[in-house]
Amino acid sequence: MGLFDYGTITEDWGTAANQEQASMAATRYQWLAEVAEGQELLDLSSGTGYGLATVTGCTRLIASDLMFDNVHRAREMGIQAEFLQADASRIPLSSSSIDVVACLEALYYLPAQPDLFHEAARVLRPGGTLLVSLPNHHRRDFEPGGGSTSYPDAIELRRLSIDANLIPMVSGAYLWADRNESAPLRFARRTLVRTGLIPKSMRAKSILKRLAYRHMQPLSEAVLAAPAQQRTEIRQGSDGSPYTMLYLEACKP
């Protein structure tokens, strides 16, 4: 079986985003920028790098992606980084050599997710941090992305961290109850999910969103202008069900 073409599902600089998608992008990259301030950062599965343009305070940035086209695109767009074409579950760096490892919106594409956690723990310096963001598969409109494997919930993120000897803190954002959607749009979304008609490619999804939403903007602009949302810590034992998005901050002792 050949390698899945992740380029079809990779968000690009010009990918059109509705207000919620724009805010989610701003939330995760502002979070990354805050944690990586003054630190050496490795961004795994960094895609085309549109969000990394906002992460300017780190002392060293390494952008790594499995797809050559993504690495080339990030370099072409002028991201100031060291670039690697590498598998996120086999990090080509020395042990205890980096301060922050990030894997944003990508963990669910890995066939062996524990490998990422163990590799992150290996390359992190003592006191370093692993950041992971992903959708919560318990939300009512959840639809797995094309090429995805599995989506850990808050309980599973904690277990994966602890198994790699990391100390986890999981937070959530975007409460389902707070979503500002009209009843017809909510019904249409649920119908598409239930019937399996949600497009798998990023281009097709963008076309569908343009038909449904009035206000759209390129993701490269959204991460700079959209309002970020406050994250709320999720208590141990909870799978994070009320939240649309999950965020893991796992520290190496």
253 residues of the chain, pLDDT tens digit each: 456 777 778 999 999 898 889 999 999 999 999 999 999 999 999 999 999 999 999 999 999 999 999 999 999 999 999 999 999 999 999 999 999 999 999 999 999 999 999 999 999 999 999 999 999 999 877 888 888 999 999 999 999 999 999 999 999 999 987 666 555 555 555 555 455 545 555 555 555 555 455 678 899 999 999 999 999 999 999 999 999 999 999 999 9
Percentage of the chain lying above the pLDDT 90 cut = 74
Q: Enumerate the domain spans of the chain.
A: 11-251
Query: Among residues 195, 189, 221, 234, which one has the least CA distance to residue 53?
Result: 221
- Name residue, tokens 């797995």: 144
Helices (H) and strands (E) in the chain, counts: 7, 10
- The answer to whether 62 and 231 are in contact (CB under 8 A) is no
- The pLDDT assigned to 142 comes to 87
Query: Among residues 82, 56, 98, 77, which one has the least CA distance to residue 11?
Result: 77
pLDDT tens track for 97-108: 999 999 999 999
- The pLDDT assigned to 199 comes to 53
Which CATH superfamily groups domain 11-251? Vaccinia Virus protein VP39 (3.40.50.150)
Residue partners of 163: CB distance under 8 A and separation at least 6? 114, 117, 118
SS3 201: coil
Distance, CA of 147 to CA of 102 (rounded, Å): 20
- Name residue, tokens 């994966």: 160
Distance, CA of 128 to CA of 46 (rounded, Å): 19
- The pLDDT assigned to 116 comes to 98
Longest dimension (CA), the chain: 53
Q: What share of the chain is helix, strand, coil (3-state, %, to 5)?
A: 35, 25, 40
Distance, CA of 117 to CA of 101 (rounded, Å): 10
